[in-house]
Amino acid sequence: MRVAVVGGTGDFGLALARRLAEAGDYVVIGSRDAERARTKAAEAGAAAGASNADAVGGVDLVVLAVKADAALPTAAELADAIDETPVLSVASELRFAGGGAYPSDESRSLAERTQELLHGPVAAGLHSLAAASLADGRSDGDALVCGDDGHAKELALELGAKVVTGRALDAGPLAGARALEGMTAVIVNLNRRYKGHAGVSVTGL
């Protein structure tokens, strides 16, 4: 698969790029800074580095791996460059307060709002994978993926299967991203409470 990782110089994007390159994918790391993208691509064993707009050309799947607060502006900015290429949304909006991490106050997921800005289909997933665990090898547990478009979801599942020790699982329609994104807050709280690197594994399938 040819994959562009937009925001691929960040902790999560870079770890993901590394795992995908290792699995044999043709990976292009995108960044606002093309020079930095090239340096990081060399480090990660990725095929190439480029500006975000150049990175998304000619790939099968674009992973939007910028931080949550940059996800919507970046999607809007890259919409024409991405055109109808499927996108995988991996970010989660979190809010931190005294009691821990809180899920977003928005009723709709970041993935659903990203979908409105793009011409092609959006799938969402990998929210339970921490950058720290992905940096050292495949993440423990399963990769949950959701989406309304069959082709985008298939690509996202194929990608997910390469980066976890468990399975990539089809979690249903894109609206399920409300839960998957919210689980990031739960995972952050579990990590704080139990001093771990939590992931999610689905039992009983």
Residues near its own copies (CB under 8 A): 97, 99-103, 105-107, 133, 140-141, 144, 146, 148, 169-173, 175-176, 178-183, 185-190, 192-194, 196-205
| Selection from 84, 60, 82, 88 nearest residue 174 by Cα | 88
In angstroms, give the least distance from the CB of 139 to its own copies: 9
CA distance 17 to 11: 10
Cβ proximity to its own copies, 24 vs 99, nearer residue: 99
Cβ proximity to its own copies, 84 vs 194, nearer residue: 194
In angstroms, give the least distance from the CB of 97 to its own copies: 8
Helices (H), ranges, 45-138:
52-55, 68-82, 110-115, 131-134
In angstroms, give the least distance from the CB of 63 to its own copies: 21
In angstroms, give the least distance from the CB of 183 to its own copies: 5
Cβ proximity to its own copies, 25 vs 142, nearer residue: 142
> What's the 3-state SS for 7-50?
CCCCHHHHHHHHHHHHCCCEEEEEECCHHHHHHHHHHHCCCEEE
